Amino acid sequence: MGKLEIVDDIFAPHETIVLNFEGENPFAVYGIIRDLAEKIFQIEAKDIYEKIFKYDITGDPRWFYNVISWKKDFDKWTGMIVRILLQGEQHTQTKWGNVSIQITAWLVTSYQYSNFIQRAFWSLYNRTFYYKTRRRYFNLARGMVLSFKEQLAEALGIRKPG
């Protein structure tokens, strides 16, 4: 069984949104992300995956590195994937530190086919009938991720420049 997959980077050409935070208890971002994701993307906690979780307890400052991701489905064929990369450090005594938060998101449409005729049908269907629906999902996904970024920045107390 073949698979025709169309992937759109939501923030092309930059790919990634970066938030930098310096302050007290930067590791708290980890918990804030999960709560915001459930609220904004309307997903359950079980849909949030930790791909990588690294935390060094041997030094001071203690560094951490986390990759968190989730998928939000819009319909049978299309969904969005969000990946958050946290990289930072926190001092043990003062709890002061910094964290870099990188947000990346993709809109993914996937069709299953078993022969070249079905593949041609799905390509034609996508270009003629499903294009407007995908654009609507794209705009919806972009709005969700931007709202997530704004609410995360607000929760951390990061002010907008200007």
pLDDT score recorded for residue 160: 66
Domain encompassing residue 143: 2-156
Residue 106, in any domain of the structure = yes
Residue 64, in any domain of the structure = yes
pLDDT score recorded for residue 137: 97
Mean pLDDT by 10 residues, the chain (162 residues): 91 90 90 93 92 85 93 95 95 91 96 91 91 95 95 85 50
The domain tally of the chain equals 1
Q: Taking the model in full, what pTM does it have?
A: 0.88
Residue 15, in any domain of the structure = yes
Residue 161, in any domain of the structure = no
Tokens 């990634």, residue located: 16
Measured CA to CA in angstroms, residue 78 lies from 29, 53, 58, 96, 158 at distances of 29, 28, 44, 41, 33
Residue 51, in any domain of the structure = yes
Residue 63, in any domain of the structure = yes
Residue 162, in any domain of the structure = no
